[in-house]
Chains A and B, each alone.
Chain A
Amino acid sequence: MVGIGFRKDFADQFLNSTTLHPDFIEVSPENWIGVGGYWKKMLYKALDKYPLFTHGLSLSLGSPDELDLPFLKKTKQFLKDTGARLFSEHLSYAKCDNAHLYDLLPMPFTEEAIRHVSQRIRQVQDVLGDRIAIEIVSYYTPVAPEMDEIEFVNGVLELADCRLLLDVNNVYVNSFNHHYDAKAFIDALPLDRIRYIHMAGHEQVEEDLILDTHGQPIANPVYDLFGHVMSKLNDEVPVLLERDFNIPELSELQQELDRLASIKAIKRNTYAIAG
């Protein structure tokens, strides 16, 4: 399955043509909870056609603040109302000192942080009654690290016993910004935990810095890395294209979906031949 992030900027055109025809869509519950009127109609029009995956933004799993349980319960209700197939969130924090920042800030890679965030992921899983998928975020600076990113990520996955949302672009961006080998990083992940894949575009803004903008087409080296990931995975993991800015013609987004699907198909065919 290849899906697209359902965005208000192209919702109307998307729902009124067949140019862009993904296998599923993804939304952030934050943008739709408690919403009625025009946008609720549009969302339900989309849900009539496509299965839904969800991607939370503001649970702030890594935050020193208390978990927002009332909001988590609203999220649970939203997942139920929409029949969502999966809930995912980020390995980061977006709220601190009781203030939301509406952006994903990097976690300190420490033992203590592993324990803290894992306990909160477990708490969320308990409330939702299901395992969630956690996304490794892109980051532009380390914060008081005591270990490597891979150790941190694997520590959390193990202790929280959660699933992994592998954003291949994020791994690429991080490997560039923090000078490591992206393939080796992926090889060191517990691949059996991968439940969902994100793909997106980025932009190099400085000689030594790439920003995870979601404003460009997927870059070729990220397709290569995706091919590497697919060569390792046995199952039919859903892949999502995230595009938030600089929205192109929908036909261009469809071309990106087609390319992702064809990379997955090579994988399937290889297995079919091997089998």
Chain B
Amino acid sequence: MPSPVSTISQHQSALARYCRTGSYEPIPGVRHRHVIRYRELVYNVVEDILQSAYPLTYELLSSAEWNDLVDRFLSEHSCRSPQVWRMPKELYDFVKKEGTPLLSQYPFLLELLYFEWLEVELFMMEDKKASHTSKGDAASDALVLNPEHILQHFHYPLHRKTAAQISDEDKGDYFLVMFRHPGSGSVQFMDLSPALVYLVEQLAIAPVRVTELAKEVCDALNVPFQDDTLSDILTFINRCLDNKLILGFKA
């Protein structure tokens, strides 16, 4: 007589649970000596993809800390993404939601995970287009921002210091724009002052001329508009045109 579906799914479930936890409860017909391979395969795939998504975290943690984290993640968290390259985001979500004693040892760990994930996400994410022309004048034409960017406020200098060297003394405000270079596809970073964050936010809404941009920034920050404000901003804009955070000019 065929087994009821529940029995079959119980066996399937038992095998899957074993692969995730490594603790084996006998399943009918299963050879224990060889089923171990499945646990190894599952663990290795997950560990490997996490290691390549989070190289800085991997370097920071001792191997015992790293292995514990991976173990806990695999056994306690149900990975939802059918796409393995997106799965590492779930490690960040897991640590954020469930916590880990590592967070008191490394207060910047959650931010580090997020920073590393954003880099993966930016590198991989779908293309976003913004119509623009490369011919124009930075001083007079409306500027088109690269839509493939993320603005982020961090409390630790994750992009400037080796993680192991970050301490409580580094705590502060670090504004960063991360963006994908349209030619090479590589992910690049730029430190921003709060005024430049505001400027990039304005450009993200719609293409704007630099003069209007300068006025908006001064208004928002409640500082008088001066000639050197404009030239400072122009210097920044030219840098962004070079590194492609600004793609070009409104067509």
- Residues of A participating in the B interface, judged by any CB pair closer than 8 Å: 30-31, 33-41, 57-59, 62-64, 68, 71, 93, 95-103, 105-108, 110-113, 116, 140-146, 177, 209, 211
| Chain B window 19-30, contacts with chain A (Cβ cutoff 8 Å), 1 for yes, 0 for no | 110000001111
**Shortest Cβ distance from residue A112 to the other chain B in the assembled complex, whole angstroms:** 5
Given known A-B contacts A37-B123, A37-B124, A38-B123, A140 and B87 have beta carbons under 8 A apart: no
- Within 8 Å CB of A57, what residues of B? 84
A58 to B86 CA separation, bound complex (whole angstroms) = 13
Residue of A nearest to B41 (CB): A103
A95 to B19 CA separation, bound complex (whole angstroms) = 11
Q: A36-B127, A143-B28 are in contact. List 9 more A-B contacts (CB 8 A).
A: A34-B126, A37-B123, A37-B148, A59-B82, A71-B82, A100-B81, A103-B38, A144-B27, A145-B29
| Band of interface residues on B | 35 or more
**Shortest Cβ distance from residue A246 to the other chain B in the assembled complex, whole angstroms:** 15
- Within 8 Å CB of B8, what residues of A? 64, 108, 110, 112-113, 116, 144
A64 to B15 CA separation, bound complex (whole angstroms) = 12
**Shortest Cβ distance from residue B132 to the other chain A in the assembled complex, whole angstroms:** 17
**A103/B19 in contact, CB under 8 A:** yes
A42 to B167 CA separation, bound complex (whole angstroms) = 41
**Shortest Cβ distance from residue B191 to the other chain A in the assembled complex, whole angstroms:** 23
A99 to B13 CA separation, bound complex (whole angstroms) = 10
A24 to B38 CA separation, bound complex (whole angstroms) = 31
**A143/B29 in contact, CB under 8 A:** yes
A101 to B29 CA separation, bound complex (whole angstroms) = 21
**Shortest Cβ distance from residue B192 to the other chain A in the assembled complex, whole angstroms:** 22
**B30/A141 in contact, CB under 8 A:** yes
A96 to B14 CA separation, bound complex (whole angstroms) = 9
**B15/A100 in contact, CB under 8 A:** no
Residue of A nearest to B46 (CB): A102
A38 to B126 CA separation, bound complex (whole angstroms) = 10
**B29/A103 in contact, CB under 8 A:** no
- Within 8 Å CB of B78, what residues of A? 97-99
**Shortest Cβ distance from residue B166 to the other chain A in the assembled complex, whole angstroms:** 29
**Shortest Cβ distance from residue A210 to the other chain B in the assembled complex, whole angstroms:** 11
**Shortest Cβ distance from residue A262 to the other chain B in the assembled complex, whole angstroms:** 33
- Within 8 Å CB of A108, what residues of B? 3, 8, 11-12, 29
A40 to B125 CA separation, bound complex (whole angstroms) = 10
The answer, among A41, A97, A101, A146, for a CB contact under 8 Å with B2, is: A146
Is B180's beta carbon under 8 Å from chain A?
A: yes
**B2/A30 in contact, CB under 8 A:** no
**A141/B84 in contact, CB under 8 A:** no
**A37/B45 in contact, CB under 8 A:** no
Residue of A nearest to B184 (CB): A38
- Within 8 Å CB of B28, what residues of A? 143-144
Given known A-B contacts A108-B11, A112-B8, A142-B30, A96 and B16 have beta carbons under 8 A apart: yes
**Complex A-B, nearest 9 residue pairs according to Cβ-Cβ distance, in ascending order:** A38-B185, A64-B9, A96-B16, A99-B78, A36-B127, A58-B82, A37-B185, A111-B2, A36-B126
Residue of A nearest to B82 (CB): A58
The answer, among B2, B34, B148, for a CB contact under 8 Å with A209, is: B34
- Within 8 Å CB of A34, what residues of B? 83, 86, 124-126
The answer, among B13, B34, B42, B184, for a CB contact under 8 Å with A141, is: B34
A38 to B148 CA separation, bound complex (whole angstroms) = 13
